Amino acid sequence: MNDFLLRMKSLLGDEFDEFLKFYNSDDFIKGLRVNTLKCLPEKLCSLLDFELKKTPFCDEGFYIPSDVKSIGNNPLHHAGAFYVQEPSATSAVTMLDVREGDYVLDLCAAPGGKSTQIGAKLNGTGLLWSNEIVRSRANILLSNIERMGISNAVVSNCRPDELCKRLENRFDRILVDAPCSGEGMFRKNDAEREWSIEHVKSCAARQLLILNSAKNALKNGGHMVYSTCTFSKEENEGVISRFLAENPDFELVDSGVTFGRPTLDYARRIFPMDGGEGHFAAKLHKRASRILIIIFLKRIIKLTRKFLIFMTVFLSTDRSVKILRL
């Protein structure tokens, strides 16, 4: 048994054998998400020649039958009626709870699954800023945003740290779907060939740097969701725990979802046994900074002093005279 499976056995305990059945199977969990900017779920279901079954991860998410092939060649896909997306990948945006009118930053956005999900939630209001550091992937991101009909979007090709410095305190919500070791995608691609414990640790260090960059662009009182498609504790619970230890103005909060399984109280893990290939997401809240609280208290104290001085003068002065002066 290789190091990855040994770590999964330690993580899952009695559920490891069930996980192993999925791991050794070629029957991947496939899904799509309806683009409500162009089509309602009921309409899409009537147009496709196969049955769709809802996923627990978002209202617009559906499972694709395993025998359906080349769904990306469907004309409705080219028209932007739906986005082919691994079902559990939609969980992070659900937890972000985007509202119409929000200013939202998707910091590691390519190829665009989560960005286009955010765009549909915004429904033409507010702003979606989608960033991707790799130029070629940024072009794919732009293409997908255009295909899905999102008009209130900016696509950038910047380093996360440089972008977030320029956009300090600008966003109501931020998604950090961080580059990871991709353990949740091992069944679908060749990511396992690059896997090593050293690579996991390297990813965790980079993820913490990205998260610490993202915090600068978030408004006080805003929310940020950190997500990965990997299982390792170093990249999930480890990154969140270290971030919270370094940033006392942030707190882990309940996203109100019930899918997957809880970890760190409010974060969520999704395994193949839960209906998705694999995902982790945690929702963070940025409290008002201590500096702002101190400034606010100083202003209150100053106003209180002025009021007390005014009342002292007022009460020590003949009221009839003051009325005549008015």
- Find how far residue 59's CA is from the centre of its chain: 16
DSSP at 193: G
Q: In whole angstroms, what is the distance from residue 81 CA to residue 35 CA?
A: 5
Q: Give yes or no: 229 in active site.
A: yes
Q: In whole angstroms, what is the distance from residue 215 CA to residue 218 CA?
A: 5
Cβ neighbour number for residue 235 with a 10 Å cutoff: 29
Beta bridge partner(s), residue 251: 285
Q: In whole angstroms, what is the distance from residue 84 CA to residue 30 CA?
A: 8
| Tokens matching residue 227 | 């997500």
Q: In whole angstroms, what is the distance from residue 321 CA to residue 240 CA?
A: 66
Beta bridge partner(s), residue 262: 268
Q: Which of 39, 164, 180, 229 is catalytic?
A: 229
Element (H, E) at 26: none
E strand residue ranges, 162-314: 171-177, 218-228, 250-252, 261-263, 267-270, 279-286
List the catalytic residues: 229
